[in-house]
Structure 1
Amino acid sequence: MAGLASGGPVRREDGQELQRFEPRVIGFLCNWCSYAGADLAGTSRLAYPANLRIVRVMCSGRVDPEIMVDPFLRGADAVMVLGCHPGDCHYLSGNYQAEQRVRTLWMVFDHLGIDRARLYLDWVLAAEGARFADMVSCFVEQVRALGPAGGGSASREGLSRDEFVFRSEIARRVAASERFRWLVGRSKALCEQGNVYGERILPEKVATLLQGVIADECVRAAIEVLAAEAPVSVKDIAARLGVSAQIVLEQAAYLKRRGVIEPYDVLGHSPRYVLRGARV
Structure 2
Amino acid sequence: IGACHLNECNYITHGNFQTLNMVLLLKKIMERIGLNPERLQIRFMSGAEANVFVESTNNFVKKIKELGPIGESEGIEKSELNARLAEVTKLVPYIKIVKNEKLGTRLEKEEEYDNFFTREEVDKLFEEIFSYYIDPQKCQACMTCARRCPVEAIISAKGEVHIIDQDKCIRCGSCFEACPPRFGAVTKITGDVPPPPPEGQRAIIKKAKEKEAA
Q: After TM superposition, give the deviation of residue 148 of structure 1 in Å.
A: 0.5
User: Which structure 2 segments of 5+ residues have no match?
Assistant: 108-114, 130-165, 168-188, 198-214
Computed over aligned residues only, the root mean square deviation of the Cα atoms, in angstroms, reads 3.4
Determine the structure 1 residue equivalent to 2:62: 141
Residues 108 and 214 in structure 1, CA contact (< 8 A), matched pair in contact too: no
**TM-score normalised to the size of structure 1?**
0.41
Listed one character per residue, the Cα deviations across residues 189-221 of structure 1 (whole Å, up to 9, x for unaligned) are 6899xxxxxxxxxxx79745444123434xxxx
The counterpart of 2:91, out of the listed 165, 174, 177, is: 174
1:106-125 equivalences in 2 (<5 Å): 106-125=27-46
Show the 5 A alignment for 1:1-280: 81-92=1-12, 93-151=14-72, 155=73, 157-177=74-94, 180-187=95-102, 207=118, 208-217=120-129, 253=192, 256-257=193-194
Decide whether the 8 Å contact of 2:35 with 2:71 is kept in 1.
Answer: no
Higher helix share: 1
Higher share in strand: 1
Q: d(CA) in 2 for partners of 1:88 and 1:159? A: 40
Larger of the two Rg values belongs to structure: 2
CA contact (8 A) 2:17 2:105 kept: no
**1:160, CA displacement in angstroms?**
1.7
Number of the residue aligned with 1:242: none
Q: How far did residue 119 of structure 1 move? A: 1.3
Q: CA deviation at 1:183?
A: 3.2
1:221-278 CA-partner distances (Å, limit 9, x unpaired): xxxxxx97xxxxxxxxxxxxxxxxxxxxx9651xx24x6xx69xxxxxxxxxxxxxxx
Unaligned 5+ runs, structure 1: 1-80, 193-203, 218-226, 229-249, 264-280
Give the number of aligned pairs.
133
Distance 2:3 2:21 in 1: 13
How far 1:107 sits from its partner (Å)?
1.5
The amino acid of 1:111's aligned partner reads R
